[in-house]
């Protein structure tokens, strides 16, 4: 076991020494991990690269509590996707900010802003294109929970409900459905 060789908690070690050592302990989750599980950043004044004290997961968790973090994440992610797919993109950061301060436009459930990169929360916000080919324009986009987005984009709303409704009835919930006009 090489855990015995691990450095003591972060504050006791200088930045330079910390960047050479192979294993760190994260002060938030207290796991001892390889240095690659920690982000690099450049110190503003000196420009010297340094590892963040928290591990990548805890760092994302901490940053993701702010709405601004998600505005930038979603904006960059969808812009990149639109370029890759060659579809229209006219969404603005302001549009994201307004939508993120609301809730899921399909379920009304409030968004969860604390999500980890590897496994996002079921209530993390995601952009849904109502008609995929029309692209990322305001009249064609809404912000919904990522779990609903996965479900509906993989099987379509009708097929997904064909499973979800019987499941809820099995669980003892009474679900009333009214046929469409």
Residues in touch with Zn ion (CB under 5 A): 26, 28-29, 55, 58
Q: How far apart, in Å, do the first and last CA atoms of the chain sit?
A: 67
The distance of closest approach from Cβ of residue 118 to Zn ion in the complex, given in angstroms and rounded to an integer, is 12
What Rg value do the Cα atoms of the chain yield, rounded?
22
Nearer to Zn ion, 17 or 29 (CB): 29
Nearer to Zn ion, 56 or 81 (CB): 56
Sorted by sequence, the CB contacts under 8 Å of residue 82 that are 6+ apart come out as: 88, 89, 135, 136
What is the Cα–Cα distance from 65 to 49, expressed in whole angstroms?
A: 25
The distance of closest approach from Cβ of residue 117 to Zn ion in the complex, given in angstroms and rounded to an integer, is 12
Nearer to Zn ion, 28 or 34 (CB): 28
Give CA separation, 68 vs 6, 48, 64, 146, in Å: 36, 27, 8, 18
The distance of closest approach from Cβ of residue 71 to Zn ion in the complex, given in angstroms and rounded to an integer, is 25
The distance of closest approach from Cβ of residue 120 to Zn ion in the complex, given in angstroms and rounded to an integer, is 17
Nearer to Zn ion, 22 or 134 (CB): 22
């Amino acid at each position: 076991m090489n855990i015995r060789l691990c450095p003591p908690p972060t504050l006791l070690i200088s930045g330079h020494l910390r960047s050479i050592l192979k294993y760190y302990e994260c002060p938030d989750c207290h796991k001892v991990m390889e240095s690659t599980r920690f982000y690099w950043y450049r110190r503003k004044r000196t420009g010297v690269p340094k590892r963040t004290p928290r591990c990548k997961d805890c760092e994302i968790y901490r940053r993701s509590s702010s709405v601004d973090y998600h505005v930038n994440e979603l904006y960059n992610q969808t812009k990149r996707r639109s370029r890759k797919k060659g579809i229209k993109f006219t969404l603005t950061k302001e549009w994201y900010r307004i939508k993120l301060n609301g809730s899921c436009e399909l379920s009304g459930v409030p968004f969860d802003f604390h999500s980890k990169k590897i496994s996002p929360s079921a209530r993390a916000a995601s952009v849904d294109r109502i008609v995929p080919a029309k692209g990322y324009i305001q009249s064609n986009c809404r912000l919904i929970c990522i779990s609903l987005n996965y479900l509906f984009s993989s099987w379509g709303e009708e097929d997904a409900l064909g499973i979800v409704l019987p499941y809820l009835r099995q669980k003892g919930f009474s679900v009333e459905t009214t046929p469409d006009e």
